[in-house]
Chains A and B, each alone.
Chain A
Amino acid sequence: MARSTHTTPSGFLLPSIHSAEPFFTQQPNPTTQSKQTETWSRLILSYARHRNLFFVRVEDAETAGGEWDEILRNERIKRKVMPPHLSHILSEMVAKNQAAYEPPKQTRSVLLYWRLPEEWAEVLHQWVTSTGQLTTILTFYEITDPPVPSPLSGIPAVLLRKAIAILGKTGRAQIISIADGEGARFFAATGK
């Protein structure tokens, strides 16, 4: 059974297990299933990191043409992840704090934490410091869509707000809101 790894058009290296048909079927045996779900979670997170994707939805398994086709489908062996299977994987990821249901109170779409909000908070603070924007008022749009691409380009506002809240707890950021929109201001780390 020579399974091989495969590199996708976007440059992502798929593990050899991705070429195995049983990998796409939700396994009945609990041990195998937990191993399988774990592998799928890791795969989803590393792909999200590679392509800078933040959301995965059950409908990505239902319809083709989305961002996740390279992972959720394998045309060479003619297999794909079924929606219930994906739903199960997502619920496991949320339970392990690798993702969160976003918007909350539904189970069809999750926000992926291939970087924890705490880590995002650090990346954010470092970026603000290195671009010399401490104590400057920044709009959310400025952070998510800067003229110079940054590690934060494309971060969803939800995740950004969480990161800013974490920084706010250590006195390194504050959110300013007005009628038209929101912004934030960052400070150097207070002596801690």
Chain B
Amino acid sequence: MGASQSTPKVTAQDRAILDLKLQRDKLKQYQKKIQQVLDREKEIARQHLAVGDKQRALIALRRRKYQESLLVKTDGQLESLEQLVSTIEFSLIEVSVLHGLKQGNEVLKEIHKEMNAESVEKLLEETAEAREYQREIDEMLSNNLTVEEEEAVEAELKALQAESVSESPPAIAHIINVRVQATEREAEQAPVELPSAPVNVPVAPEVYAEPIPNTHEEEPEQRERVPVMA
């Protein structure tokens, strides 16, 4: 009872196939027997000849010939039986292929129900609208920020310069200073010579964003921390 739950039931078809196969086995065994008789008869014939009994040898050989014809006939029947068995097994495979196709078809139909053409179109439209809207917003924002970004960048550069001057050797500091002077015409900064306390007072930038925090170099009154915009 428990076994038949995990293995498929034995159908009448299965029994029919088993029957066919058993018949085929019987034929095979019969063939084996005939082959043995054949060999034995050949031996007997040989023995009779050795004794000189041609008559008996002839009889044995004739018997053998008859058995051989039986064998040939059995071969033919065996072949047709085996063909039948193969055809049945093949049609069983075909049935299961068909079954599989049907199942796959059903699954596909179900999926298509969820995915009808109208809802897809609507979705695409909405996505296009959203993208347009996003583009507009981007444009508006970019117009506003250009000037402010510029000032923030300049302030960052000044802070960086102050920092690097206190850490790096004079030569590099000089190069940095040269570069800084090249970009900032209006800011008159005296070149710092040695890694010592900076001479120039950093200017508090009038921007919304706070530059790189440089607590140890800014003077106390400059330490007005503007809240950073997230």
A157 adjacent to chain B (CB < 8 Å):
no
Q: Are A136 and B10 in contact (CB under 8 A)?
A: no
Instruction: Quote the shortest CB–CB distance from A92 to chain B (angstroms).
Output: 35
Are A178 and B15 CB-contacts (below 8 A) given A139-B25, A171-B7? yes
Nearest B residue to A165 by beta-carbon distance? B3
Residues of B contacting A141 in the complex (Cβ-Cβ under 8 angstroms): 22, 25, 28-29
Instruction: Quote the shortest CB–CB distance from A164 to chain B (angstroms).
Output: 11
Q: Are B18 and A171 in contact (CB under 8 A)?
A: no
Are A183 and B29 CB-contacts (below 8 A) given A136-B89, A171-B7, A190-B6? no
With most chain B CB atoms within 10 A of its CB, the pick from A139, A173, A187 is: A139
Kindly identify which residue among A168, A173, A180 contacts B22, using a CB–CB cutoff of 8 Å.
A180
Kindly identify which residue among A137, A142, A168, A173 contacts B14, using a CB–CB cutoff of 8 Å.
A137
Q: Are B25 and A174 in contact (CB under 8 A)?
A: no
Interface size class of B (residues with CB under 8 A): 10 to 19
Nearest A residue to B29 by beta-carbon distance? A141
Nearest A residue to B3 by beta-carbon distance? A168
**A168 and B3 alpha carbons, distance in the complex (Å):** 7
Residues of A contacting B22 in the complex (Cβ-Cβ under 8 angstroms): 139, 141, 178, 180-181, 183
User: Which residues of A152-192 have CB atoms within 8 Å of chain B's CB atoms?
Assistant: 168-169, 171, 173-174, 176, 178, 180-181, 183, 185, 187, 190
Q: Are A180 and B19 in contact (CB under 8 A)?
A: yes
Contact with A along B7-26 (1 / 0, CB 8 A): 10010001101110111010
Q: Are B17 and A137 in contact (CB under 8 A)?
A: yes
Kindly identify which residue among A137, A139, A174, A181 contacts B7, using a CB–CB cutoff of 8 Å.
A174
Q: Are B21 and A137 in contact (CB under 8 A)?
A: yes
**A176 and B6 alpha carbons, distance in the complex (Å):** 15
Are A139 and B18 CB-contacts (below 8 A) given A174-B10, A176-B10? yes
Instruction: Quote the shortest CB–CB distance from B59 to chain A (angstroms).
Output: 32
Nearest B residue to A186 by beta-carbon distance? B7
Q: Are B21 and A171 in contact (CB under 8 A)?
A: no
**A183 and B23 alpha carbons, distance in the complex (Å):** 12
Additional 18 contacts, C-beta under 8 A, given A169-B3, A183-B21: A139-B18, A139-B22, A168-B7, A171-B3, A171-B6, A174-B7, A174-B10, A178-B15, A178-B19, A180-B19, A180-B23, A181-B18, A181-B22, A183-B22, A185-B7, A185-B10, A185-B14, A190-B6
